[in-house]
Amino acid sequence: MARIVSVHSFRGGTGKSNTVANVAALLAAGGRRVGVVDTDIQSPGIHVLFGQHSAELPKTLNDYLWGRAKIAEAAYDVTPPMEASAGRIFLIPSSAHTTEIARVLREGYDSGDLVRGLRELIDQLALDVLIIDTHPGINEETLLSIAISHTLIVMMRPDSQDYEGTGIAIEVARQLGVPNLLLVVNKVPAVLDRAAMQAQVEQTYNCPVAAMLPHSDELMVLGSEGLFVLRFPAHPMTALYQQIADRLLV
Amino acid sequence: MTPSEIIDRATFAGLLDNLGGDVDFLGELVETYLASSPELVAGIQQAIAAGDAPTLQRAAHSLKSGSASFGALAFAAQCRELEEFGKTGALAEAQLKSAALAEVYAQVAAALQAELHTARRSPA
Amino acid sequence: MMEIKGRILVVDDYVLNRMQLKRALETQGHTVALAEDGRQALEMLNAGDYDLVLLDILMPEIDGFEVLTRLKNDPARRDLPVIVISALDEMENVVRCIGMGAEDFLPKPFDPLLLRARIGACLEKKRLRDQEVEYLQQVARVTAAAAAMEAGDFTPDSLDDVAARPDELGQLGRVFQRMAQEVVAREQALKQQVHDLRIQVDEARKASQVAEITESDYFQQLQSRVGDLRKILDT
Ligand SMILES: Nc1ncnc2c1ncn2[C@@H]1O[C@H](COP(=O)(O)OP(=O)(O)OP(=O)(O)O)[C@@H](O)[C@H]1O
Ligand SMILES: [Mg+2]
């Protein structure tokens, strides 16, 4: 069965989208068929990292949910040019526009519909992994994503403002019985002792850390221009993204 | 030789000129010359007697240079020849050339004192 | 242009030459030290700092050739300029000295105008060379400081004298030093932070926030349905 992975963080800007896109690229390079659900089509999100404009993505997962489109119409093959790999990446934009949310609440949302939609997607595209790039913070939509995930990655920065929210997300995920919980610490300043910090994070949250990602000027400069792991295959940062990718398949 | 033949007036005047007309310093120079030269003259003769050509060369060289600066040109020329003999090790020729050296030096010393005396008297 | 004044060592075994040179050089504003032979000259050169040497050739024991050879073989003194004192009838010695690295020669008897011209040119040349050497050394210092920054062992005051220069290199030194100091300060603050880094979580507040979520209708409903939802995906 396809592995469902949610990537979440308490606050915005922790590096979720970059992590999802790069991990997806590494999985595809390893021959996997990967679906990426982008929950924020409005603001420049993950689709930009795959070189897509939102105007070129007319149908979203929501269109499928409301019966306005077939599921296949809301999935876009965004596989970047890669040598000798059977892997593919499909981007499934999902509108989290406030009017859509309001409509969900008003008309009574059947979480079963969404899940059945995802299942259909997995089957039709023969996905090995489905990664959901969630919104920051806990709301009904992120709770649902977390609940149906085999693996939840909570991303945090080494910053006191992230500590409590990270703890809440992990606790909530535990109560929902998510089988694999992982932490990723991102934007770690180069001067910090990453090993010591990892030990402390693991101890505080009683949860394994999949990777300690350093703050990287190259990544920041690359911005949304492309996928870091494809641009810098030999960079130590790419090895760390690979480390995360490897944790998702087990 | 008269004093004016022993000391070239133009050179002597040029030296005083180079000293900015400072007759007192010229006096110091003359005194130093008079104090150090007898030793050089003796040194030349001893070096010849001892067969020490390098010392002959150096002593003659110094005496030449000091004498020339005051305008004792003939004496300087004699020293120069001695210097050359020292350089080539021609000690027999040096012996001949140095025979009357002390006497010639005594004339130079007297003439120099006379020149200095004149210089001290004439207004700067 | 202002004439450069230097510290000059006069080496001559003949007292009359020493007197005349000392007087002429001091009249021109230089500081003069006297050595009576090659040995004394070498001792004084080891002990003191000079801008120029006026060197007689013919001296007992250690002569001018030997002094010159030793100076030119000493990396610390190789660039110290030497002017050879020589009578015009000793030109072959002068030629030999120039070949050994002497800068120029000064004919005897001494002519104050010629003396001034040769000494002035020599000191000016030395000053330009010193400036160039100092400049290159200070550029090397900035480069070394950049490397030290990378390696993390930069000492912030190591560029004080470069930064004191009035020229562009000084500007670079000042900017670099300020940047470096800021970086060092920031890194120290960060290190301190890590040192103090205790991932503090207010457990009571967290528990109440978790409770707020888990006690919501939506969460309760989700929790009761999660088994069914997973079945949709896993079977
Ligand atoms: N390790 C890193 N080093 C430096 N910059 C980083 C790193 N990771 C991410 N960034 C930068 O941080 C910004 C936010 O990254 P990203 O969009 O991936 O975060 P996000 O969690 O998806 O944000 P949002 O919550 O807004 O969706 C981007 O500009 C990205 O280039
Ligand atoms: Mg994002």
Condensed to tens digits (0 to 9), the pLDDT of residues B4-58 reads 689 999 999 999 999 999 999 999 999 999 999 999 999 999 999 999 999 999 9
User: Given ligand 1 and candidates A6, A17, A241, which is best to mutate, with the most ligand atoms within 8 Å of its CB?
Assistant: A17
Least confident range from A175-184, B77-86, C104-113, C211-220: namely C104-113
- The pLDDT of residue C215 is 94
Taking the centre of ligand 2 as the mean of its atom positions, its distance from the CA of residue A135, in whole angstroms, is 7
Fold of B3-118: Four Helix Bundle (Hemerythrin (Met), subunit A) (1.20.120)
| Predicted local confidence at residue B113, as pLDDT | 95
**Are the C-beta atoms of B93 and B85 separated by less than 8 Å?**
yes
pLDDT at A99 over 60: no
Highest mean pLDDT among A52-61, A130-139, A184-193: A130-139
Residue C196 has pLDDT above 90, yes or no: no
Please say whether the beta carbons of B10 and B71 come within 8 A. Answer: yes
Domain range summary for chain A, segments of one domain joined by +: 3-248
Which residue would you say has higher pLDDT here, C152 or C228? C228
For residue A218, the model assigns a pLDDT of 84
Residue C3 has pLDDT above 80, yes or no: no
- Full domain range(s) for residue C201: 155-235
* Percentage, residues of chain A above pLDDT 90: 53
Q: Is the pLDDT of residue C109 over 90?
A: no
Supply the pTM of this predicted model: 0.54
* pLDDT at residue C188 tops 80: no
User: Is the pair B, C in contact (3+ CB pairs within 8 Å)?
Assistant: yes
Q: Is residue C143 part of a domain?
A: no
Q: Take residue A143 and report the two structure tokens written for it.
A: 């709770």
Average pLDDT, chain C: 87
To the nearest whole percent, how much of chain C has pLDDT over 90?
A: 46
> What is the band of A141 on the pLDDT scale with cuts at 50, 70, 90?
confident
Residues C125 and C162 grouped into a single domain:
no
pLDDT of residue A81: 85
- Residue owning the nearest CA to atom 19 of ligand 1: A15
Q: Is A87 in the pocket of ligand 1 (CB under 6 A)?
A: no
Q: How far apart are the first and last CA of chain A?
A: 12
Residues of C with Cβ-Cβ distance to A197 under 8 angstroms? 194, 197
Question: Is residue A107 pLDDT above 60, yes or no?
Answer: no
User: For position A129, what pLDDT does the model report?
Assistant: 97
Which atom number of ligand 1 is nearest to the Cα of residue A188? 1
Measure the CA–CA gap between A49 and C134, rounded to whole angstroms: 51
Task: Tell me the C-alpha to C-alpha distance, in Å, between residue A235 and each of A191, A239, A247.
Answer: 18, 7, 19
Arithmetic mean of pLDDT over chain A: 87
pLDDT (tens digit, 9 = 90+) per residue, A1-14?
A: 899 999 999 998 89
Q: What is the pLDDT of residue A57?
A: 79
Query: Which of C18, C20, C63, C86 to probe by mutation at the B interface, max B CB count within 10 Å?
Result: C20
The model's confidence at residue C179, banded by pLDDT at 50, 70 and 90, is: confident
Residue A224: per-residue pLDDT: 73
H-helix or E-strand containing C196?
helix C168-196
Contacts 24+ apart (CB under 8 A), A147-150: A147/A176, A147/A178, A147/C222, A147/C223, A147/C226, A147/C229, A148/A4, A148/A115, A148/A118, A148/C226, A148/C229, A148/C230, A148/C233, A149/A4, A149/A5, A149/A6, A149/A178, A150/A3, A150/A4, A150/A5, A150/A178, A150/A179, A150/A180
* Residue C152: predicted pLDDT: 73
* Cis peptide leading into residue C60 (ω within 30°): no
Supply the pLDDT for residue A112: 78
Query: Which two tokens mark B4?
Result: 């004016």
Q: What is the total count of domains within chain C?
A: 2
Chains that touch C (3 or more CB pairs under 8 A): A, B
The model's confidence at residue C90, banded by pLDDT at 50, 70 and 90, is: confident
**Mean pLDDT (whole number) for B62-76:** 94
What CATH number should be reported for the domain holding residue C58? 3.40.50.2300
Distance CA(A84)–CA(A173), nearest Å, equals: 38
Between these two residues, B25 and C109, which has the higher pLDDT value? B25
Mean pLDDT score, A235-250:
94
Measured CA to CA, the distance from residue C228 to residue A144 in angstroms comes to: 13
Q: Is the CB of A158 under 6 A from ligand 1?
A: no
Q: How confident is the model at residue B80 (pLDDT cuts 50, 70, 90)?
A: very high
Average pLDDT over residues A69-76: 88
pLDDT value for A47: 80
Band (pLDDT 50/70/90 cuts) for residue C4 is confident
When pLDDT is averaged across residues C179-198 and rounded to a whole number, the result is 72
Q: What is the pLDDT of residue C127?
A: 87
* Structure confidence at residue C92 (pLDDT): 87
Average pLDDT over every residue of A168-197: 91
Using an 8 Å CB-CB cutoff, list residues of chain C that contact chain A. 187, 190-191, 194, 197-202, 205-206, 209-210, 213-214, 218-219, 222-223, 225-226, 228-230, 232-234
Specify if C145 maps to a domain.
Answer: no
ipTM (interface predicted TM): 0.88
Is C233 close to A119, i.e. CB distance below 8 A?
yes
How does pLDDT run across C11-70, given as a tens digit for each residue?
A: 999 999 999 999 999 999 999 999 999 999 999 999 989 999 999 998 888 999 999 999
Q: Is the pLDDT reported for residue A146 higher than 80?
A: yes
The confidence band for B74, taking pLDDT boundaries of 50, 70 and 90, is very high
- Confidence grade of residue B101 (pLDDT, cut at 50, 70, 90): very high
Does chain C touch chain A (at least 3 C-beta pairs within 8 Å)? Answer: yes
Residues of chain B with C-beta less than 8 angstroms from the C-beta of C108: 65, 68-69
Q: Would C177 be classed as within a structural domain?
A: yes
Does the domain at residues A3-248 carry the CATH identifier 3.40.50.300? yes
Chains A & C: contacts with CB separation below 8 Å: 80
Share of chain A above pLDDT 70, in %: 91
Report how far ligand 2's centroid is from the alpha carbon of A54 (Å): 14
